[in-house]
Structure 1
């Protein structure tokens, strides 16, 4: 989480402006120092875990904002260790869990301090089947997975398509703990440490944004 950034640069600063989920393409992109958004990073993490013989499956998710849920626009993994399932989400934008968590209703987990998260295991109001506590399964080679990504990287209404984003987690080299975030979002760069956040640079032009990416990231 400290070394791989969460970012949408390929959708704005590449010739093709598309994303590939091919294992070799993800390996080349992420290991060489770039990052990606949730579907890229969690898909790559699937390859890592499967190479280590962990049993798992990927799930699609909906992101809730103010009580309303959007379409299938998030991906995470359910990993089984010693006959017990864990929710594993290596990146959820600027927030998310710092550790695997059993899917237990009400379970709290640490995020970058002072934030904390809590799991809720219940049916969403929009689901017609009240027993559906986990989103539908799909493998990385199934059409649903590619359909989710196609929408996320091409729809003009998708956040990553209309907003340039680059997020790097700040690591305390002395303690090894994640202590903050450095965020470039559209026209500003913001630093978050603990409960304090400050804008450290405003970006008035596209050229300023490119210069800020080089300077801060």
Structure 2
């Protein structure tokens, strides 16, 4: 006599409670949001420093954007970078301080996420603004205070070159202080340096502004500040 097989029974587990589903969904969204935040901060943070060509004041900036599509998701935040020399030049009216919306800003450093910083030619000027003497004081601030009349044409030349983007020529103007004693002669010497490079930067139509190979300056060499580059006390 054939015997029939026992019927199979299917055991059904207890259904997942609704609160558990909500909890798991919330944790999943939190993990996704946390991952997105980390990615944005690591690869979408944009930061750097700038210098105003007219007043020589500096500031840092920071904002966030979504990587790849570069959609900004956080407004730009600016923070001033204090420098006693720049402050003295402004209060002494040795440089002009335009209205906020009229200032010309040039990038000193710029970075994006973890990719590192890129440095521009304005860093050459910054090194002079931050140069210190044997007493750990700002060397060019001391010289400016000691030589207010000579300082006027010197800093005028510096800002003129900065406005033109000719930062690699600024050391040539500052080096004039090594032998400067007469205001008129210094003014003429500064004007000669400034006009020579600005004319090359803005040629007449149909003419190339590209300098000859032996006239080009290497920013790395111009950026070096030695003891000879610091102002000579009069």
TM-score of the two chains, using structure 1 as the length reference: 0.23
Which has a greater percent of helix? 2
TM-score of the two chains, using structure 2 as the length reference: 0.21
> Quick check: which has more Rg, 1 or 2?
2
Which has a greater percent of strand? 1
